[in-house]
């Protein structure tokens, strides 16, 4: 009988330790990723691994990677207020589908466009541009890289505060 009690105590202790570790890891994971206060269809994702090409904090969830069969990488990008890409261009072009928030888009030499939920931006190949959140708003868009076989994005200089405003 003592062996059964000790076995049950050991199992109970293991379950409690496992539960505690799970709760701690969930809390730590939540603290490491801010949740966007705006509603969106897709998961916000982790901090963008391409952050060196952005000003501010952005998050990325790849919805469909590129590849031979499906030749169009598609990503869900969430921007914190004021966050934006650097100037860049895509050899094959890009399409942005705005899901929520207020954003900005500018092609080099043109006026800044205000972007809102439901907007679609078609960016021709090799057009230098940037896009991101408005100063006081989170912003979420889907990025579709068109014709990626023509080459990767070319990242240029950061958008200055003067250009942004």
Comparison of pLDDT for 20 and 39, the residue scoring more: 39
pLDDT of residue 67: 79
H helix or E strand, kind and range, residue 113: strand 113-116
| Contact residues for 43 (Cβ-Cβ < 8 A; gap 6+) | 61, 76
Determine contact, residues 142/97, Cβ cutoff 8 Å: yes
What's the rounded mean pLDDT across residues 32-46? 76
CA atoms within 13 A on the CB side of 124: 3
Comparison of pLDDT for 9 and 44, the residue scoring more: 44
* Two tokens, residue 102: 């207020």
Give residue 106's pLDDT band: very low, low, confident or very high (50, 70, 90): very high
pLDDT single digits (tens) 57-97 = 999 999 998 877 888 999 999 999 999 999 999 999 999 99
Burial class of residue 90 (count of CB atoms within 10 Å of its CB; 0-12, 13-18, 19+): buried
């Amino acid at each position: 009988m003592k062996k059964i009690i000790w076995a049950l105590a050991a199992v109970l202790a293991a379950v409690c330790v496992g539960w505690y570790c799970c709760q701690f890891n969930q809390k730590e994971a939540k603290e490491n990723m801010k949740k966007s206060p705006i509603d969106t269809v897709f998961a916000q994702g982790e901090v963008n691994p391409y952050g060196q090409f952005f000003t501010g904090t952005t998050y990325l969830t790849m919805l469909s990677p590129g590849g031979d069969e499906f030749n169009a990488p598609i990503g869900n990008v969430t921007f914190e207020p004021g966050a934006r890409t650097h100037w860049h261009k895509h050899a094959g072009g890009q399409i942005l589908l705005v899901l929520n928030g207020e954003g900005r888009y500018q092609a080099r030499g043109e006026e800044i466009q205000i972007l809102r939920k439901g907007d679609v931006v078609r960016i021709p190949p090799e057009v230098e541009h940037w896009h991101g959140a408005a100063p006081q708003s989170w912003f979420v868009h889907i990025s579709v890289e068109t014709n990626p076989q023509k080459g990767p994005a070319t990242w240029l200089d950061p958008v200055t505060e003067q250009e942004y405003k």
